């Protein structure tokens, strides 16, 4: 352990080079980046020790305590910052010093600092919690910078938005994060910044504990900022417009308004289904307990959850329960049975009919015994708060959302308990016995 510490100190000494060392030149920075890129070609991605060693070697001799913001940004873009724990303190202190400036550059320095904190070498639960606290604290420091709103207007500081969703709720509760973000959005922000605002989606979860009144103010301010940004995007920038449209849908949707659970389910418009009687909307399923499973053919965790959903479908096959796998047009289809991985992805760009025509074969290959449907709405449905898949939602027979945020890859007995309870609540036919939890079948013989 002592030898590792001495080595770290030695490397740090090479990086600092004393208080009066000459600042690095731009050529020095380019040389370091090129050196690291060359070394990285022979380093496996999972060999973190070798990556750290390569970064230390590339940075050796540079006086990072004298580097400019643009030079540190170049090192970051070259993959050199946030790798080595030995250089982290020097770089962090330099960025903190540059962050003292009240202008946009000061905000950018703090944003860069939040993005370059290296993960601990030994990833224990304790060290990862400490790392998360460090990142959260640095992110909030950038958010609280007086020029944050102006930075967003110039398309800068957007990495802060991406990190805000990972700030722990404990720290959010003791900071002015919601108020400061709302204030920043009072400026005219860039389309790039507006697209990234949904990163704070976790704030709108009722479990976050954030005051609903403050969130409503943030939501309406963010919606106005997104709609304003849309007017400043050229018509030929289709991808940007789509992302801004999705962002607007989120801030104007049921989840962000905290009117999802225990409220009428947001409508879905189905353009294809494998139901014997094609379903067009959720209204066609009224009177049943409905479990929506948001998924896609390319999603590995979705595929892994299929055995659990198959069990649920078998349990409720003859009962007033509808399990519906909801996806949307993706522009591609993944054949999970393809023997050659190169042939797994099938291009369906601009050909939704082709993509939908491949689904019956996929369902047969994957033994999907439940209903499958394509919705007009994106599978990452902002109204339902779907930010990752698979994601399951349970709706009662009256069409009211009762549960959301369920990962079907867990124990299907948990979903079964929720569905059984609703069947009994509405006095509908229900299984006589609860589903046994995983492992109980073996215990019981």
Each residue of 137-169: pLDDT tens digit? 999 999 999 999 999 999 998 999 988 888 877
Counting residues of the chain whose pLDDT is more than 70, the rounded percentage is 93
State pTM to two decimals.
0.81
Residues 359 and 234 in one domain: no
Residue with tokens 């003859």: 318
Residues 226 and 347 in one domain: no
Whether residue 4 is contained in a domain is answered as: no
Domain end: 219, 251, 283, which one?
251
3-class SS of residue 347: strand
Query: What are the start-end ranges of the H helices in 366-432?
Result: 412-425
Residues 19 and 47 in one domain: yes
CA atoms within 13 A on the CB side of 280: 0
Whether residue 434 is contained in a domain is answered as: yes
Whether residue 256 is contained in a domain is answered as: no
Whether residue 6 is contained in a domain is answered as: no
Average pLDDT, integer, range 35-40: 90
Residue with tokens 């001495």: 6
CB 156 within 8 A of CB 69: no
CB 116 within 8 A of CB 134: no
pLDDT in tens, 316-366: 999 999 999 999 999 999 999 888 888 899 999 999 999 999 999 999 999
CB 63 within 8 A of CB 21: yes
Alpha-carbon 248 to chain mean position: 17
Separation CA 124–CA 49 (nearest Å): 16
Whether residue 333 is contained in a domain is answered as: yes
Q: Average pLDDT of the chain?
A: 90
Phi, psi of 180, deg, nearest 5: -70, -40
pLDDT at position 16 over 70? no
pLDDT at position 440 over 80? no
Separation CA 297–CA 376 (nearest Å): 17
Average pLDDT, integer, range 227-252: 93
Residues 224 and 348 in one domain: no
Residue with tokens 């569905």: 419
CATH assignment at residue 209: 1.25.40
Two tokens at 50? 């070798």
pLDDT in tens, 44-76: 878 888 888 999 999 998 999 999 999 999 999
Whether residue 419 is contained in a domain is answered as: yes
Can you give the pLDDT at residue 255? 95
CB 89 within 8 A of CB 49: no
Residues 191 and 43 in one domain: yes
Q: How many domains does the chain have?
A: 2
Whether residue 262 is contained in a domain is answered as: no
Residues 20 and 169 in one domain: yes
pLDDT in tens, 246-256: 999 999 999 99
Average pLDDT, integer, range 5-12: 42
How many residues are recorded in the chain?
445
Whether residue 445 is contained in a domain is answered as: no
Residues 238 and 313 in one domain: no
Domain extent, residue 245, equals: 11-251
Q: How many CB atoms lie within 10 A of CB 149?
A: 22
Residues 220 and 308 in one domain: no
Residues 342 and 294 in one domain: yes
Domain end: 218, 251, 284, which one?
251
CATH assignment at residue 370: 3.40.30.10
Residues 305 and 414 in one domain: yes
pLDDT at position 112 over 80? yes
Residues 274 and 316 in one domain: yes
pLDDT at position 308 over 70? yes
Average pLDDT, integer, range 9-13: 44
CB 389 within 8 A of CB 302: yes
Q: How far apart are the first and last CA of the chain?
A: 50
Residues 274 and 313 in one domain: yes
Two tokens at 327? 């996806």
């Amino acid at each position: 352990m002592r030898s590792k510490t001495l080595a770290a100190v030695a490397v740090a000494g090479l990086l600092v080079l004393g208080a009066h060392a000459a600042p690095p030149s731009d050529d020095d920075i380019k040389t370091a980046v090129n050196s690291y890129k060359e070394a990285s070609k022979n380093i496996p991605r999972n060999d973190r020790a070798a990556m750290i060693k390569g970064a230390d070697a590339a940075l050796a001799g540079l006086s990072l305590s004298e580097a400019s913001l643009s030079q540190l940004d170049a090192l970051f873009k070259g993959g050199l910052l946030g790798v080595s724990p030995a250089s982290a303190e020097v770089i962090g202190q330099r960025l903190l010093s540059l962050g003292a400036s009240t202008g946009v550059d000061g905000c950018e320095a703090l944003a860069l600092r939040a993005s370059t904190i290296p993960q601990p070498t030994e990833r224990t639960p304790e060290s990862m919690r400490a790392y998360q606290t460090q990142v959260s604290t640095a992110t909030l420091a950038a958010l609280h910078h007086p020029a944050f709103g102006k930075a967003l207007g110039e398309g800068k500081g957007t990495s802060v938005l991406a990190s805000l969703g990972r700030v722990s709720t404990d720290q959010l509760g003791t900071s002015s994060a919601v108020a400061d973000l709302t204030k920043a959005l009072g400026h005219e922000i860039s389309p790039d910044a507006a697209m990234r605002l949904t990163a704070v989606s976790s704030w709108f979860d009722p479990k976050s504990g954030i005051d609903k009144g403050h969130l409503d103010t943030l939501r309406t301010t963010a919606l106005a900022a997104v709609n304003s940004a849309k007017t400043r995007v050229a018509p030929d920038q289709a991808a940007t417009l789509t992302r801004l449209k999705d962002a607007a849908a989120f801030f104007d949707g049921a989840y962000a308004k905290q009117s999802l659970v225990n409220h009428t389910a947001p409508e879905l418009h189905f353009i294809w289904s494998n139901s014997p009687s094609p379903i067009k909307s959720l209204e066609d399923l009224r009177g049943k307990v409905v479990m929506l499973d948001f998924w896609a053919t390319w999603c590995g965790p979705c595929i892994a959850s299929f055995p659990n959903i198959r069990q649920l479908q078998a349990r409720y096959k003859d009962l007033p329960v509808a399990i519906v796998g909801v996806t949307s047009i993706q522009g591609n289809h993944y054949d999970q049975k393809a023997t050659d991985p190169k042939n797994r992805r099938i291009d369906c760009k601009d050909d939704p009919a082709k993509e939908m025509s491949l689904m019956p074969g996929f369902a047969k290959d994957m033994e999907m015994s439940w209903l499958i449907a394509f919705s007009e709405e994106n599978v990452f449905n902002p109204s339902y708060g779907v930010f990752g898949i698979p994601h399951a939602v349970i709706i009662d027979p009256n069409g009211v959302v009762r549960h959301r945020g369920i990962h079907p890859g867990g124990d299907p007995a948990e979903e079964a308990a929720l569905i059984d309870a609703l069947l009994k609540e509405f006095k509908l036919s229900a299984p006589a016995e609860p589903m046994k939890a995983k492992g109980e079948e073996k215990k019981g013989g």
